[in-house]
Structure 1
């Protein structure tokens, strides 16, 4: 009886530790092979606005995969970030919508994705958000993933 309970606890511990180390495929090999967009990358920045800010926090320069992807959201004038408005786009031709892959990691104050899996390469990503007053905010950044 004690042995059965002990084996059950060990098995549960292994399952839990395996789940804690799970990675999320942010960009697939197939998506990474898509051609880059042609021309300039547009960012909507018309006029002076008090829309929310998206700040790219990490990773730094070239890193290995899996990587920790951290973005910070900041709103102004008492408005709050609308987590349902967050859109994450991998800028390629055609663009790849990464929103569904990132949604579990979205919080009102930002995105904290501990183990994002990407193939080696450079990836330009755009993040769009809105606040509770409907004002938009956008950030475009490049992830550089070193070869393994």
Structure 2
């Protein structure tokens, strides 16, 4: 959640974000912080390099969790969450789940108590469908390696 809020703040996004709004803000930030605007070796050039990387990472991250992106990929997401869970990891408030079809998704804001319940569940996919998949912000981080 901290990462989401940090990127939303950088892009001046309130609650609802559109891809058009993100793209416009992204372009303006890249123009402002492009490393070529500064002398090579200057402190500002180094800062601009770091900031431009952060801007690019933030843009790709926010696009991946944007409502329009989720809507466009909803069929694939629903198909994936119906396949069995083969691996899961929890770091802080981030739950990473890998499915049998090879796709991996991150779910943001999942607390440790819910993660423990997931680990102890008899039927992982059923528990996750009821308590995680529809309730938390998610994004796809890895695509299946085997294409049918």
- Give the structure with the higher percent helix: 2
After TM superposition, the score normalised by the length of structure 2 is: 0.28
- Give the structure with the higher percent strand: 1
After TM superposition, the score normalised by the length of structure 1 is: 0.28
